[in-house]
Amino acid sequence: MPGFELFGDKERAQVQDVLDSGVLMRYGFEGMRNDHWKAKELEVALAKKMRSSHVHLVSSGTAALTVALASAGIGAGDEVIMPTFTFVASFESILALGAIPILVDVDDTLTLDPKAVEKAITPKTKVVMPVHMCGSMANLDALQTICDQHGLLLLEDACQAIGATYHGKPLGSIGNLGCFSFDYVKTITCGEGGAILTNNETYYQNAHKYSDHGHDHIGNDRGAEAHPFLGYNYRISELNAAVGLAQLSRLDEFIDIQKKNYILLREALSKIDGVQFRTVPEGGEENYSFLSFFLPTEALALQAQKALGDAGVDGCFYWYNNNWHYYRKWEHLTHKKSLGKLPKDVLEALPDYEKADFSSSDHWVGRNISCLIKLGWTADDVKQRAQTMSDELQKIL
């Protein structure tokens, strides 16, 4: 999946432009910058590609989530529904605003289970945040219906799913707000970077100001007029945006390679009894960054992961035991470990996750293996991999 695998002349040329002018900042310095506005250019290109009215770039995917929530006025005490299977950034971004992360089960899509979402709604719920993990998506029609019924915002964390679509629409452009990450291991990379997508003019204007200290951005000298509200610095640099411009121009190429490799591996594994592929909601098209499947039991999944690793098949993850991606290992959250004191309201409102019942998530994630699809594989590499994976899984099943 990672864009860093195919990195070259296009990226170099874009970065050289920035170095030649010496202006590494996305705002100001008109006289010096040789008319290079890499961040602005990438925002326009992304908005066009994702068919979204507005895109605002920030310094990371985590920042994008925080800024997206802030732009819609989410703050202290508001509840945000998020899945048990995601990256730690989900609850970090919520807690950063004093809001409360409400963990909810995932289903066979490996993303939010709409039935579990419905049960978790309280008068304090403000946002439903599906996370399109490993290149595929949540059932967005079902989640949108729930959001409409309860007056909630839908915020898509599409950090791992750029290039995937749902009923023909790009993921990230479907909810009230959507976020991408361009960190070093994502499908396309800026080194570090993130983006907020929205069709809502107010959220966009808020995100713009909030991510630059609350400066009003009126006129040439930004912030000269006023500070309409408190903000923070989540700016992206021109160097990062320049890399992103080159990478975005190659997104379709990357997805095509992933799809080709994914299909070959999937064909091989589909012949094996006992391998069940992850469910992709109707109308969904993955970005093919991972091939995710379930084995009949947790013990078999563990055995399979070990066998694949021993046989030299790298990049197959058993997320159930992973420190970053599944609630079972989020000890810092469940034990409320914070450097400074957490706000009293947050401490009181955080559910007791040590006692929570996520057996339904365990049922799916405990039997799941997700294998990374690489861009750099040769045809022979893929063939060999398909053969080894089939052999190893067949031995176990």
Helices (H), 51-88: 61-71
Which residues in 79-98 contact ligand PLP (CB under 6 A)?
Answer: 86-87, 89
Return the axis-axis angle of helices 238-248 and 9-21, rounded to nearest 10°.
150
The active-site residue out of 186, 260, 355, 374 is 186
Least spacing, CB of residue 187 vs ligand PLP, in Å: 10
Q: Which of residues 194-223 bind ligand PLP (CB under 6 A)?
A: 194
Q: Is 183 in the site for ligand PLP (CB under 6 A)?
A: yes
Q: Which stretch binds ligand PLP (CB under 6 A): 39-47, 157-165, 213-221, 338-346?
A: 157-165
Burial string for 229-266 (b: 16+ CB within 10 Å, else e) reads eebbebbbbbbbbbbbbbbbebbeebbebbbebbebbb
Pairing of strands 316-317, 177-181: unpaired
Instruction: Tell me the number of residues near ligand PLP by CB under 6 A.
Output: 13
Q: Minimum distance between the CB of residue 190 and ligand PLP, rounded to whole angstroms?
A: 9
Nearer to ligand PLP, 27 or 182 (CB): 182
Question: Is position 110 an interface residue for ligand PLP (rule: CB under 6 A)?
Answer: no
One of 11, 78, 157, 286 touching ligand PLP (CB under 6 A): 157
Q: Which of 159, 162, 197, 241 binds ligand PLP (CB under 6 A)?
A: 159
**Cα–Cα distance, 313 to 377 (Å, whole number):** 12
Nearer to ligand PLP among residue 29 and residue 317 (C-beta): 317
User: Minimum Å distance from CB 183 to ligand PLP?
Assistant: 4
CA distance 185 to 146: 33
Kindly tell me which residue out of 131, 268, 346, 382 binds ligand PLP, with binding defined by CB under 6 A: 131
> Which single residue brings its beta carbon nearest to ligand PLP?
61
DSSP class per residue in 273-319: TT-EEPPPPTTEE---SEEEEE-SSHHHHHHHHHHHHHTT---EE-G
| 191 vs 281 by CB, closer to ligand PLP | 191
Long-range CB pairs of 252-258, under 8 A, 24+ apart, other chains included:
252/163, 253/6, 254/3, 254/6, 254/163, 254/187, 254/188, 254/375, 255/163, 255/187, 255/287, 255/288, 257/375, 258/1, 258/187, 258/287, 258/288, 258/289, 258/373, 258/375
Nearest-approach distance from CB 63 to ligand PLP, in angstroms? 7
Least separation, in Å, of the C-beta of 60 and ligand PLP? 3
Counting contacts by CB under 6 A, is residue 181 touching ligand PLP?
yes
Q: How far apart are CA 120 and CA 143, in angstroms?
A: 13
Q: Check if 260 is active-site.
A: no
Q: Give the residue numbers annotated as catalytic, written as ranges.
A: 186
The footprint of ligand PLP (CB under 6 A) covers 60-62, 86-87, 89, 131, 157, 159-160, 181, 183, 194
